[in-house]
């Protein structure tokens, strides 16, 4: 028996915390709610320090929740599993499964790239109709909660034993009993989660101890670039997901293909921010 098999972590966690009838509360849903609660408190603290209008926060949370979740959901269905969802359109926007009767499942498939697009659209609308401030004003103040949300979502993926890594021989590999028994794989969900939590801490320190926040848009651009460079790198350790790469065969995964424009957009936003500030 290989040493990696002996030292690997056997992961056999029930993704549901409890179930009542057809309703179940999953760790994924719980972590998602925690990320929103923490994000709200962080932004509230930033608003108080900067004497911004606290009354906008409730509306902001609504815009973010709708835009982020719907964008992430549509992104997953279109980029990763269109063959399935094209015949089940109700399951795209509703957290249900209808194959064997109607069953509440929650949104099990969410794509970070779609979530980023949905979030940007919702913040553009919020800026125009609610805050009446430049869109980068609010975007710069949301980067820390967005890193935290990414970290908690990946922890939810870990609890679901989904979006797993590629097969490995490293001694810290995971055997996902419920989805890939008998195979030792990278716990890439954990890698990504830890990376986002570390970046949330770094960005928190930067925001509070530098003048970079005075360069409108710089923090958001830096967020896009760092998040999607990490996403691009970690795709090398993920089990390949079907999707966009099937029609664009350039040796990259769907996640990598979608990450490139976001990372480049972040660099452009930072350049423009420095240029205007200068």
The values of phi and psi at residue 272, to 5°, are -65, -35
Report whether 167 contacts 185 (CB < 8 A).
yes
DSSP structural state of residue 242: P
Dump pLDDT digits (tens) for 41-83: 999 999 898 888 888 888 998 898 888 888 887 777 777 776 6
pLDDT exceeds cutoff 70 at 96: no
SS (H, E, C) 75-99: HHHHHCCHHHHCCCCHHHHCCEECE
Average pLDDT of the segment spanning 225-244: 85
Query: To the nearest whole number, what is the mean pLDDT of the chain?
Result: 84
Instruction: Give the pLDDT of residue 87.
Output: 65
Dump pLDDT digits (tens) for 163-218: 899 999 898 999 999 999 999 999 999 999 999 999 999 999 998 887 877 889 99
Q: Is the model's pTM score more than 0.85?
A: no
Residue 85 tokens read as 């969802």
Bridge-partner residues for 99, per DSSP? 101
pLDDT exceeds cutoff 80 at 36: yes
pLDDT exceeds cutoff 50 at 1: no
């Amino acid at each position: 028996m290989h040493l990696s098999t002996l030292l690997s972590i056997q992961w056999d966690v029930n993704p549901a915390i409890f179930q009542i009838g057809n309703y179940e509360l999953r760790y994924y849903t719980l972590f998602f709610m925690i990320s929103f609660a923490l994000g709200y408190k962080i932004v509230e603290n930033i608003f108080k320090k900067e004497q911004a209008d606290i009354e906008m926060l409730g509306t902001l949370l609504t815009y973010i929740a709708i835009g982020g979740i719907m964008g992430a959901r549509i992104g997953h269905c279109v980029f990763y599993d269109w063959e399935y969802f094209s015949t089940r359109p109700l399951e795209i926007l509703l957290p249900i499964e209808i194959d064997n009767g109607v069953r509440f499942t929650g949104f099990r498939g969410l794509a970070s790239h779609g979530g980023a697009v949905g979030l940007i659209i919702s913040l553009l609308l919020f800026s125009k109709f609610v805050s009446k401030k430049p869109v980068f004003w609010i975007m710069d103040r949301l980067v820390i909660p967005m890193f935290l949300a990414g970290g908690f979502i990946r922890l939810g993926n870990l609890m679901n034993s989904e979006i797993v890594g590629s097969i490995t021989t490293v001694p810290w590999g995971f055997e996902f009993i419920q989805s890939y028994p008998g195979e030792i794989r990278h716990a890439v969900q954990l890698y990504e989660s830890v990376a986002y939590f570390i970046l949330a801490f770094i960005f928190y320190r930067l925001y509070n101890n530098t003048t970079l926040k005075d360069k409108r848009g710089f923090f958001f651009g830096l967020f896009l670039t760092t998040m999607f460079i990490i996403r691009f790198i970690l795709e090398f350790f993920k089990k390949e997901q079907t999707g966009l790469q099937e029609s664009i065969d350039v040796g990259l995964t769907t996640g990598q293909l979608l990450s490139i424009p976001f990372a480049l957009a972040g660099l452009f936003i930072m350049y423009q921010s420095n240029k205007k500030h200068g």
